[in-house]
């Protein structure tokens, strides 16, 4: 199952190439400003927003500032929700959740049930992709309660489908099927062919997971029929890919290959790179089952290269958006400073006017010495008070600037942490693909076709050699040093006998990577990993029963060096 929610996953967003940016930007703004009462942002709006996330964010932020200044709270909630959805589609889940929670607070205070329920569905989806499944289910259930009270079939169809998807991912097939059937029931009531298409596809996916391929084929065909009726050429690509999976899983390899080729051709025509990658991957699987390893390797490599391009483009867009967020926040900070400076200038101007007025009065009217002395003393006290007030405001501005700088640093650290996680996942994916191909080729070597063994053995050795390449580790080390400054430097100073493999193991344990993924990243078996961990414990002087992970996570912030070259936690 690849696509189920009311709006799509960031990895599934379709971006058409070679589109003029200015017309796209204008159309995007028009669509976004006209959706105040719409139930959810359409697929076309998401596509346009994906092409210019930074420009769209600037526009939405300016509209949000305007509605706040006008004290239009509901409109502010709508723009907060749209910014949250924009950030979600760019993969900035934490910031998306923050904006959607702000919108939810406004809608709850205004007692606007429809806006609140719609926001709960959007927030639940972001929670799901942020791997907070329980929070996602809570949001969907609260939205469901409202739509049931209002007897709103459109909202019920969407929410039942969302809940069904949650249960499917939890492997609770009966509950997933139950909710998807309810979604189908209400989808037929509103006769929304787009919703029905997605629900049919959801049901097909459930049956496919249960290996009930006839039923899965039935619902995929119904989804394809509706999609063709609606003229949704992009949506058809995914369904055709699913049908190809059914044929491949039932042993009808040639029919499955024909559908995969059809999906491949349509994906290329529409510039749909994600579905193009999926079609290439499915063709590689089919060639593998047809015992054609050369073709399988060719297509899996093409799929992997395309996936790398997709993620690289997504990362670039996300970095651009984050830079825009930083620029907007910095601009707001500068505006605040300018306003503060204007107030200070006004105070100084007022003080100057008062002083000039006093001088004029003293020059025109000369009274007695005593009265003149009293007047001067009053003027002096007033000036001191104004100077004190000015200094106090300057201190407040400086304090706020320091807070903004700290927030910017935290944002940069969060970005680097995400880059480090993404980089690690890419290494894991690369090694897993190479391991699968290596195992397949090793199996072929056991056959009696000795005329192929020499070439196949050379290919196995070449793949094995790629596990030892250090390019990924060099990039990994650079990003890791930015997230954990001076960690490696202090570690090598206190334990100079640590090898490069030891340092890599320490870094992966510091990131809480699982043992299976660590073995994959290092290109070794789990048994070899246990030996490596044991040797590392000996080198850092850990006693028996003392956890290695606890030691690494406490180093070096809460630790000190003992005479035996062992780190002892500071009490």
Secondary structure in 3-state letters for 120-142: HHHHHHHHHHCCCHHHHHHHHHH
CATH number assigned to the domain covering 1-138 = 1.25.40.10
The pLDDT assigned to 182 comes to: 92
The pLDDT assigned to 317 comes to: 66
The 8-class DSSP code of residue 39 comes to S
Burial call 113-147: b when 16+ CB within 10 Å, e when fewer: bebbbbbbbbbbbbbbbbebeebbbebbebbbebb
The pLDDT assigned to 137 comes to: 92
CA-CA distance, 168 to 161, in Å (whole number)? 10
Distances (CA, A) of 394 to 330, 347, 439: 18, 12, 68
Q: Kind and range of the H or E element at 567? A: strand 567-569
The pLDDT assigned to 332 comes to: 66
The pLDDT assigned to 424 comes to: 67
Q: Quick check: helix, strand or coil at residue 561?
A: strand
Q: Are 483 and 420 in contact (CB under 8 A)?
A: yes
pLDDT in tens, the chain (571 residues): 443 443 333 333 333 333 333 333 333 444 444 443 333 444 444 554 556 777 888 898 889 999 999 999 999 999 999 999 988 888 888 889 999 999 999 999 999 999 999 999 999 999 998 989 999 999 999 999 999 999 999 999 999 999 998 888 888 888 988 998 999 889 888 888 888 888 998 898 888 888 899 999 999 999 899 888 888 888 888 899 999 899 999 999 999 899 889 988 988 888 888 888 888 998 888 888 889 988 888 888 888 888 888 777 767 766 766 666 667 667 767 777 777 777 787 888 887 778 788 887 877 777 878 888 888 788 788 888 888 888 888 888 888 888 878 877 777 776 666 566 666 666 766 776 677 677 777 777 776 555 566 767 777 766 665 555 556 677 788 888 888 888 888 888 989 999 888 888 898 888 888 888 888 888 788 888 888 988 988 888 888 888 888 888 888 744 333 434 443 332 2
**Other Cβ atoms within 10 Å of 87 Cβ, number:** 25
The pLDDT assigned to 2 comes to: 43
Q: Kind and range of the H or E element at 319? A: helix 293-364
The pLDDT assigned to 111 comes to: 92
**Other Cβ atoms within 10 Å of 330 Cβ, number:** 12
96 Cβ neighbours under 8 A, 6+ residues apart: 84, 85, 86, 87, 88, 126
CA-CA distance, 26 to 34, in Å (whole number)? 12
Q: Are 165 and 176 in contact (CB under 8 A)?
A: yes
- Joined tokens for residue 84: 């949250």
CA-CA distance, 18 to 41, in Å (whole number)? 23
Q: Quick check: helix, strand or coil at residue 404?
A: helix
pTM: 0.50
CA-CA distance, 486 to 269, in Å (whole number)? 50
CATH number assigned to the domain covering 484-569 = 1.10.10
- Helix, strand, coil tally for the chain in percent (to 5): 80, 0, 20
The 8-class DSSP code of residue 543 comes to P
- Joined tokens for residue 518: 């660590």
103 Cβ neighbours under 8 A, 6+ residues apart: 77, 78, 80, 81, 84, 119
The pLDDT assigned to 273 comes to: 82
CA-CA distance, 58 to 64, in Å (whole number)? 10
CA-CA distance, 472 to 427, in Å (whole number)? 7
């Amino acid at each position: 199952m690849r696509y189920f929610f009311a709006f799509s996953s960031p990895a599934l967003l379709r971006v058409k190439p070679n589109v003029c940016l200015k017309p796209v930007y204008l159309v995007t703004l028009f669509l976004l400003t006209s959706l105040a009462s719409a139930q959810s942002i359409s697929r076309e709006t998401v596509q346009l927003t994906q092409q210019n996330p930074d420009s769209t964010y600037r526009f939405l932020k300016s509209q949000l500032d305007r509605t706040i200044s006008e004290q239009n709270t509901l409109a502010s909630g709508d723009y907060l929700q749209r910014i949250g959805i924009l950030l979600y589609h760019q993969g900035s889940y934490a910031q998306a959740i923050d904006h959607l929670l702000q919108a939810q607070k406004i809608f709850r205070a205004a007692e606007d049930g429809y806006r609140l329920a719609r926001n709960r569905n959007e927030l639940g989806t972001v929670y799901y992709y942020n791997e907070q499944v329980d929070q996602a289910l809570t949001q969907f259930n609260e939205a469901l309660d409202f739509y049931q009270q209002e007897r709103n079939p459109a909202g019920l169809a969407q929410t039942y489908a969302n809940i069904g998807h949650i249960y499917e991912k939890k492997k609770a097939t009966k509950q997933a099927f139950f909710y998807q059937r309810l979604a189908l029931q209400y989808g037929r009531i509103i006769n929304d062919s787009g919703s029905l298409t997605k629900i049919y596809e959801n049901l097909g996916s459930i049956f496919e997971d249960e290996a009930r391929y006839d039923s899965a084929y039935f619902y995929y065909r119904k989804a394809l029929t509706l999609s063709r009726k609606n003229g949704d050429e992009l949506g058809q690509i995914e369904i055709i890919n699913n049908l190809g999976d059914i044929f491949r899983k039932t042993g009808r390899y040639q029919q499955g290959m024909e559908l995969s080729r059809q999906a491949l051709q349509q994906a290329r025509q529409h510039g749909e790179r994600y579905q193009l990658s999926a079609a290439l991957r499915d063709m590689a699987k089919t060639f593998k089952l047809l015992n054609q390893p050369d073709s399988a390797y060719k297509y899996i490599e093409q799929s992997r290269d395309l996936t790398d391009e997709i993620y690289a483009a997504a990362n670039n867009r996300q970095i651009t958006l984050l830079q825009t967020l930083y620029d907007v926040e910095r601009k707001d900070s500068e505006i605040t400073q300018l306003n503060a400076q204007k107030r200070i200038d006004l105070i100084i101007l007022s003080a100057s006017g008062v002083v000039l007025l006093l001088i004029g009065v003293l020059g025109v009217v000369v009274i007695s010495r005593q009265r003149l002395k009293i007047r001067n003393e009053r003027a002096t006290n007033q000036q001191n008070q104004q100077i004190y007030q000015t200094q106090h405001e300057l201190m407040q501005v400086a304090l706020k600037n320091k807070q903004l700088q700290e927030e910017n640093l935290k944002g940069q650290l969060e970005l680097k942490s995400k880059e480090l996680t993404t980089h690690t996942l890419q290494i894991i994916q690369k090694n897993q693909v190479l391991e699968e191909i290596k195992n397949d080729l090793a199996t072929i070597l056991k056959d009696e076709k000795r005329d192929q063994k020499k070439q196949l053995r050379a290919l196995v050795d070449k793949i094995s050699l790629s596990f030892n390449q250090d390019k990924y580790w060099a990039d990994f080390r650079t990003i890791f040093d930015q997230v954990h400054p001076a960690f490696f430097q202090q570690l090598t100073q206190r334990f100079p006998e640590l090898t490069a493999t030891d340092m890599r193991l320490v870094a992966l344990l510091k990131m809480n990577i699982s043992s299976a993924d660590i073995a994959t990243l290092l290109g070794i078996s789990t048994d070899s990993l246990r030996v490596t961990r044991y040797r590392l414990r000996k080198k850092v002087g850990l006693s028996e029963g003392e956890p290695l992970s606890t030691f690494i996570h406490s180093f070096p912030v809460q630790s000190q060096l003992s005479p035996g070259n062992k780190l002892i936690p500071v009490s």
